[in-house]
Amino acid sequence: MMGKLTRDAVIEQALRIGDDEGLQAVTIRRLAQDLGVTPMALYWHFKNKEQLTVGMGDHLVRGFATEEDATGPWNERLRRLVGGLVDVLRRHACAASVLEEVDQMEVPSFLRVWDTALGLINQAGFTYEESCLIARYLLKGAIALAGGEARDRHGRSDLEAAEARRVKRLGLQSLPRDSYPHIVEMAAPLVDGCSAEVYDTFGVDLLIGGVEVMAARRTASSA
């Protein structure tokens, strides 16, 4: 087994554990046990959990092509970038936790996403400082979207999750209507949410829409 153990095999097993049990369950000892090797065999690839987590982050984003099509308006390309990143991260339940855990500037694949985002935002007329700030908001927003709706974070069965939502919904609906009229009225969508597809699409539109409005104001004020 040790002769066949590759860096990618270690990372893929780490992602499986992270998806099923959460990132906290991913340890060198646990991985060695699952892969049937000694911990020392894994230290050949990763000296510690921090290096392993960086490797997991790089693996998550590595297959994401940031600028295969470098044509079209900046806002359409930026929308494709952010939406594509959300789609890629959605493939693993632990993806958001991984990228929140690491210094994203140490993840080569994510650096390419950052670089592309910075270029597109700067192209829209924002200063270097503003471009850095907007890119940070957008990429953090993409990570948050990927780790958000349509995921039960407690490992419950569908029936258990449905019952938990029912109880929470009833709790919100029982709040004093004169104090919290909108929460009471919208209790169902607040608790039940929507499909991951709708959640992600609306979220990306919201993120990019804000940048588009700001860019349009810049253009109008300089005209």
Residue 204 within any structural domain of the chain: yes
Count of the separate structural domains present in the chain: 2
User: Which tokens go with 116?
Assistant: 């592309």
Together in a domain, 187 and 109: no
**pLDDT tens-place string over residues 151-163:** 554 456 778 888 9
Together in a domain, 119 and 180: no
Q: Which of 74-78, 131-135, 193-197 has the lowest mean pLDDT?
A: 193-197
**pLDDT tens-place string over residues 103-151:** 999 999 999 999 999 999 999 999 999 999 999 999 999 999 988 764 5
Contacts of residue 74, defined as CB under 8 A and 6 or more positions apart, other chains included, come to: 120, 121, 123, 124
Together in a domain, 91 and 35: yes
Together in a domain, 128 and 78: yes
Contact indicator for 138, 80 with CB cutoff of 8 Å: no
User: Average pLDDT, stretch 159-183?
Assistant: 93
Residue 2 within any structural domain of the chain: no
Together in a domain, 89 and 179: no
For residues 193 and 155, the model is more confident at 193
Q: Which of 23-37, 88-102, 103-117, 150-164 has the lowest mean pLDDT?
A: 150-164
Together in a domain, 81 and 188: no
pTM of the shown model: 0.83
Together in a domain, 188 and 200: no
Together in a domain, 114 and 175: no
Categorize the per-residue pLDDT at 2 as very low, low, confident or very high, splitting at 50, 70 and 90.
Answer: very low
Which domain CATH number covers 41? 1.10.357.10
Contacts of residue 64, defined as CB under 8 A and 6 or more positions apart, other chains included, come to: 84, 85, 88, 109, 113
Together in a domain, 95 and 11: yes
Q: Give dist(CA 89, CA 149) in Å, integer.
A: 13
> Domain of 164?
158-192
